[in-house]
């Protein structure tokens, strides 16, 4: 049987257009089991590299019911 899951995403930033710190999060909460299924938090530095493109780099940490993991993150 499928369980009911509450999903929530959010993001916010601090800084200027040239240098910006992004904080992003995603939370999945199991309403049937009253526990977190997955929680992900990212802290990223962002800088424009072209008119419509930014370079983002930072870290991501996953809190899970099991071993937590930390990753390096990079994206355009």
Largest CA distance in the chain: 49
Contact (CB, 8 A) for 46 and 24: no
Helices (H), 1-76: none
Q: What is the pTM of this model?
A: 0.77
pLDDT per residue of the chain (76 residues) written in tens, 0 to 9 = 456 888 999 999 999 999 999 999 999 888 877 777 788 999 999 999 999 999 999 999 998 777 889 999 999 9
Please report where in the chains the tokens 């999060």 appear, as a residue: 25
Q: Is the dihedral of CA 66, 37, 30, 13 positive or negative?
A: positive
Query: Which tokens is 37 given?
Result: 């299924």
């Amino acid at each position: 049987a499928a369980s009911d899951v509450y999903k929530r995403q959010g993001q916010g930033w601090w800084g200027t257009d040239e240098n910006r710190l992004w904080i992003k999060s995603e939370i999945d909460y199991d309403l049937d089991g009253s526990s977190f299924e997955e929680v992900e938090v990212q802290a990223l530095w962002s800088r424009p590299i072209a008119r419509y493109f930014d370079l983002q780099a930072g870290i991501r940490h996953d809190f899970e019911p099991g071993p937590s993991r930390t990753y390096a993150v990079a994206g355009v």
